[in-house]
Amino acid sequence: MNPAAILVVGDVNSTIACALVAAKKQIPVIHVEAGLRSFDRAMPEEINRVLTDQISDFLFTTELQAKDNLVREGIDEEKIHFVGNVMIDTLHQNLSRAIPAATTFSRNGLPAVFSGNPQSFGVLTLHRPSNVDDPVVLRNLLETLEEVSRHIPLAFPLHPRTRQKIDEFHLTDFLNLPTLAILPPLGYLPLLGLMKDARLFLTDSGGIQEETTALGIPCVTLRENTERPITVDQGSNTIVGQDRTRILATVLNILAGRGKAGRIPDCWDGQAAWRITAQLRTVFNPDFVAPAAMAGL
């Protein structure tokens, strides 16, 4: 039986691939997390976002500004629906199951400075090509983060791409610092536990900017732009790029109690999937999708 529609989420390559197949087969495309823009076409995800939105029939947005982006690109307003953030639905549903930081540290044999006590450590993730594929840029960031770790120890779940580049560029000495704890890539629940208990988060990830905003954790984003501006305008996120002075100043402000508090954006309440379900049921057969299935997005 042919599907009534194809629902795709986010901006990865499989998102645009599934959307293209559906559009060419004249199957309606539903895009969750539509309208996010970094305005940086050097990011592969940006191309995926723009193209997926252009061929979608239902566009569900996480923030109000996304509608402005879509309308500016010629998308019919009637296709656009502000519902909130399904990633925050997932966070709310799993927060009680998060693996405590102390457990993750103990399992990985970290030194005593990484006790896992709340607020006693920061977390670092780093994986974007713009940060790790250039040896000069990567060295500068690692030197900067070494300096940060003198003020607060950093747990560093190491992405395979980043590890490969560190090895390739002969920067492995940075993996042996006593205040920069190297962890293997972590699943969602251990990472959520680190995030929940951390004093701050340094990252170049888009999703982590949203999750830290939802939790009120100060986030220092090691990029020059973000497709999630609401995390900066309303949330706890600060964009610092690769500039050592900006990174250190932002971290020291946070540690001195002068970091961004922010607030939780509208409709980031764990109910986005239910709103999506309600909207789809007005168009498709009431049995098109069960609420329980959608709530797990």
Distance CA 77, CA 263 (A): 27
Who's near 2: CB < 8 A, 6+ residues apart?
27
What dihedral angle (degrees, nearest 10) is formed by the CA atoms of 70, 74, 77, 78?
-120
Angle CA 270–97–203, to nearest 5? 70
Contact criterion met (CB below 8 Å) for 28 and 5: yes
d(CA 297, CA 281): 17
Residue 75 near residue 59, CB atoms below 8 Å: yes
Report the catalytic residues.
Answer: 127
Strand 29-34 versus strand 219-221 pairing type: unpaired
- Burial of 42: CB neighbours in 10 Å, binned 0-12, 13-18, 19+: exposed
Rounded to whole angstroms, the Cα distance separating 199 from 151 reads 12
Question: Rounded to an integer, what distance in angstroms lies between the CA atom of residue 98 and that of residue 190?
Answer: 6
Residue 117 DSSP code: -
Beta bridge partners of 155: 123, 181
CA distance 96 to 101: 13
Alpha helix locations (H) across the chain?
A: 13-24, 44-54, 65-72, 86-94, 101-107, 129-132, 135-149, 160-168, 188-197, 206-215, 230-233, 244-255, 272-281, 291-295
